[in-house]
Amino acid sequence: LQNATKPMIIVGQGALTRDDGAAVLAAAIELAAKTGATFNVLHTAAARVAGLDLGLLPGEGGHDVAAMQEAAQSGAVENVILYGADEIAGATFGDAFVVYIGSHGDRGAHRADVILPAAAYTEKQATYVNTEGRAQMTEQAAFPPGEAREDWKIFRALSARLDATLPYDNLSALRAAMYEAAPQLAALDQISEAGTPEAPEAAGHGGLGADAFAYAVSDFYFTNPIARASAIMADCAKAKGMHDDAAKGKEGTGTNG
């Protein structure tokens, strides 16, 4: 790496969610610093980069996903909002009252007590950040079906019902608040400068484990609700399952993948 031209280290999110994730992150950042390599993290979910830009992390006294599940199962948390969260088993929220906000009737909707239908990405104006940190804006191509609304309108309406009204009534005001929280999102189609982060304290988390790294995604054709609702993606997953079985000397059943 020290002799490479423009070296880069990319760490997949799957490597950071292991029990030794903190140690993996610390080792990767230290290696990047020693070799002068650019450091990157490849996330497994769309829009996670934008969420991090906006500070969507557990605040003081807040919970990560595992802690939310534990609190819901114990009864400490009685209400849960799943915002397009379809990769979490619904049973892990115990008897909590679950509100699901999303555009497709996927896994999260199956567990919900109340479903608030949201517009799909083609049915709203929105700002997205790709994995390299470039903010991009989309235009509405179609109207949401039925009673589906744009996401921000759902949260605005909920905030009013909870007597905690959010300070925006239109998309322009929402974007102004967004740009105040994360000014780089106003620089469309540009990559914001980012330095190498400091290595986290790995002490207390143990060292690197002996387990081999594994793929974080088991089926690349079914990585999100929209893909899982696609007949074409289902055909691709089926074909891949039959191909994998053939490579292993097994007979494909047509339902693999």
Does residue 246 register a pLDDT over 90? no
**Exposure string over 106-138, b if 16+ CB within 10 A, otherwise e:** bbbbebbeebbbbbbeebbebbebeeebbbeee
d(CA 97, CA 72): 9
Tens-digit pLDDT profile for residues 118-152: 999 999 999 999 888 899 999 999 999 999 999 99
Give the pLDDT of residue 150. 96
157 assigned to some structural domain: yes
Same domain, 89 and 157: yes
Give the pLDDT of residue 254. 38
207 assigned to some structural domain: no
Element (H, E) at 71: helix 65-74
Give the pLDDT of residue 45. 79
Same domain, 163 and 256: no
Number of domains in the chain: 2
Same domain, 233 and 160: no
Confidence of residue 252 (pLDDT cuts 50, 70, 90): very low
Same domain, 160 and 245: no
- Domain assignment of residue 94, given as a range: 45-186
Same domain, 68 and 153: yes
Does residue 243 register a pLDDT over 80? no
> Which CATH number characterizes residue 172's domain?
3.40.50.740
* Most confident of the following: 35-44, 72-81, 235-244: 72-81
Q: What's the whole-model pTM score?
A: 0.80
Same domain, 163 and 229: no
Tens-digit pLDDT profile for residues 14-73: 898 888 888 899 999 989 988 989 898 888 877 788 888 888 889 888 998 889 999 999
d(CA 146, CA 51): 28
Average pLDDT over residues 154-160: 96
